[in-house]
Amino acid sequence: MLQAIGLTSTSRRYLAPAVDDLTFEARPGDVTALLGARGSGKSTALRLMLGLEEGRGVTYFRGRPLHGIASPAREVGVLLGDVPGHPARTARGQLRMLCAAAGVPVSRADDMLDLVGIAALRDARLGSLSLGMDRRLGLAAALVGDPHTLLLDAPSRDSHRASTAGCSACCVLTPHTAGRSSTRPLTPRRRPGPRIGWSPSTRAGSSPTRTWPTSPGPGSGRASPS
C-alpha cells in the first residue's frame, strides 16, 4: 500500500503552494491517477512522494518511507520527465547500466525492451529516440528492478489525447492482486489562487458512478461523500 499524508509543497514568493495538504492512499492492485491541467501540481505531487521536492508531509511505501528502504529500485519504479542519460548511449546500454545499479541480472534489459515493444531499437542512441519511444524506454527503466510500486509522470504524453488531459499516474501493483485492480482518479479542483485540492471522482465497478466533492474547509486535501 502507498500512503501519502499531508503533502504540501514549499510556497513560492507571493504564491500559494502548488500542492496543499494532499492525502490519499492507493491499495495493492489499484491504479490511482492524478488528473489536472498543465501546471496544476501533478508532477510536484509525485516529486514530493519521492523526496525530490522541498515541502512537508510523508509518503509510506508498504509502511516505510523511501529513505528507509535498502533497495529503492526494487520497491519503487519511477518515470519522471525524459530518460536521463548520455544521448550517445544506446537504449540497451542504458538499461544494462540501471540493472547493475539495481542489483538485478543484466538480462532484464532485453526482457524489458521486449515488454514495452521497442526491442528493435535496442541499439538506437538515446538522442535519436522520438518522444513516444523515449517514454517507452522510460517505462522499461522503471520496470527494471521489478518494483512493487510504479510512479509514472504522464506515461502517455506522446499522444494528443493524453497531453490534452495532462494525466499523471501513480500505480500500485502487487502480483497477487494484479488481476483484481481498480481505478480511483483524483481530480484537482481550483480554489481561489493557484492552490489545488484532490478528491476521488469515480470508483471502478460502481453503478451508477458517484461524485465526491472536496470538503469545503480551506487547505484540506481530503474528500468526503456528499
Per residue in 86-121, pLDDT (tens digit) is 999 999 999 999 999 999 999 999 999 999 999 999
- Name the residue among 44, 34, 7, 42 with its Cα closest to residue 219: 7
pLDDT digits (tens, 9 = 90+) for 138-151: 999 999 999 988 89
Statement to judge: residues 131 and 153 lie in one domain = no
70 within some domain? no
In a domain, 112, yes or no: yes
Minimum mean pLDDT among 47-56, 110-119, 152-161, 171-180: which range? 171-180
- Work out the percent of the chain whose per-residue pLDDT is above 90: 39
On the question of pLDDT at 215 being above 80, the answer is no
In this structure, the answer to whether residues 44 and 79 fall within a common structural domain is: no
Domain for residue 67, yes or no? Answer: no
Tens of pLDDT, residue by residue over 45-60, are 999 999 999 999 999 9
Shared-domain flag, residues 139 and 153: no
Residue 161 lies in a domain: yes
Question: Is the peptide bond between 194 and the residue preceding it cis, with omega within 30 degrees of 0?
Answer: no
173 assigned to some structural domain: yes
The answer to the question of residue 49 being in a domain is yes
Residues 80 and 105 in one domain: yes
27 and 129 both lie in a single domain = no
> Is 117 found in the same domain as 47?
no
Q: Are residues 224 and 156 in the same domain?
A: yes
Domain that holds residue 126: 75-147
Same domain for 154 and 134 = no
- pLDDT score of 167: 45
Out of 116, 147, 178, a domain closes at 147
pLDDT of 157 reads 62
The structural domain count of the chain equals 2
In a domain? residue 7: yes
- Tell me if the pTM is above 0.85: no
User: Higher pLDDT residue, 221 or 41?
Assistant: 41
Within a domain: residue 68?
no
What would the DSSP string read from start to end of 93-145? HHHHHHHHHHTS-TTHHHHHHHHTT-GGGTTSBGGG--HHHHHHHHHHHHHTT
